Amino acid sequence: MYLLIDVGNTHSVFSTTEDGKVFKRWRLSTGIFQTEDELFSHLYPLLGDAMRKIEGIGVASVVPTQNIVIERFSRKYFSMDPIWVKAKDGCVRWNVKNPGEIGADRVANVVGFVKEYESSGIIIDMGTATTVDLVVEGSYEGGAILPGLFMMVHSLFRGTAKLPLVEVKPADFVVGKDTEENIQLGVVNGTVYALEGIVKRIKGMYGELPVVLTGGQSKIVREILRHEIFDEDLTIKGVFHFCFGK
């Protein structure tokens, strides 16, 4: 049994698997565990006896302050060091200026895509930030970063005197008729238009490629964003393949 952890800026996903095919997963707010004991107190009721079967821990983290918590948790309760996801040559080549700057979640997504699907494709991950990544014949060629949907909505709310905090959902109209509809159209549908434009330009240069959609906020746009594959476990699958080579 393996424990796989994806530490994001807003939420962290904890998953267990025996074979890398069937995953059990739980989502916790990243900020609720500040010590190894707090993390254990949240996980034990969820994992139960499965915690005794853990033989390896793999982690993709984009929150450095949480890394020491994960490390102490792994050593105290499992007597092992976690394996950290980071960009290094292996099943993927990293054709960018500074591979060390690539977020561990994006590294995991690329590894997961190459292992689970094809050697070439486009990955859209919608979380706190929205990212686009391109891999061509096993080589990571770069990507783009956009603000996440909730980040944009909260930014408008905090940065203005009168704009309200609205529900984040797709708009089925061309122009909004009130402030809420205007924000929903601009944030959600505007993000979709931006992503479709980025994907179109990539395909114009590299040819037709499969598009995989993943991430905690991807379900919001799943029905209106063109993509071939929806895989909410892509990051966790990548952590498994990267850390345990299976």
pTM: 0.93
Tokens (6 digits) for 208 = 């037709």
Cβ count near 191 (within 10 Å): 22
Q: Residues 57-67: pLDDT tens digits?
A: 999 999 999 99
Hey, which CATH number is domain 2-84, 3.30.420.40, 3.30.70.2700, 3.40.50.1980, 3.40.50.2300? 3.30.420.40
CA end-to-end distance (rounded Å), the chain: 13
Pairing type for strands 129-136 and 121-126 reads antiparallel
Q: Residues 72-105: pLDDT tens digits?
A: 999 999 999 999 999 987 779 999 999 999 999 9
233 is an active site residue: no
Choosing from 6, 105, 231, 233, the catalytic residue is 105
* DSSP assignment string, 32-86: G--SHHHHHHHHHHHHGGGGGG--EEEEEES-HHHHHHHHHHHHHHHSSPPEEP-
pLDDT of residue 207: 96
Q: Residues 3-12: pLDDT tens digits?
A: 999 999 999 9
Radius of gyration of the chain (CA): 19
**Nearest residue to 100 (alpha-carbon basis) of 112, 85, 122, 82:** 85
Mind listing the pLDDT tens digit of every residue in the chain (246 residues)? Answer: 999 999 999 999 999 999 888 899 999 999 888 999 999 999 999 998 888 999 999 999 999 999 999 999 999 999 999 999 999 877 799 999 999 999 999 999 999 999 999 899 999 999 999 999 999 999 999 999 999 999 999 999 999 999 999 999 998 889 999 999 999 999 999 999 999 999 999 999 999 999 999 999 999 999 899 888 999 999 999 999 999 986
Question: What is the distance between the alpha carbons of residues 113 and 106, in angstroms, rounded to a whole number?
Answer: 10
In the chain, where are the structural domains located? 2-84, 119-240
User: According to CATH, what is the number of the domain 119-240?
Assistant: 3.30.420.40
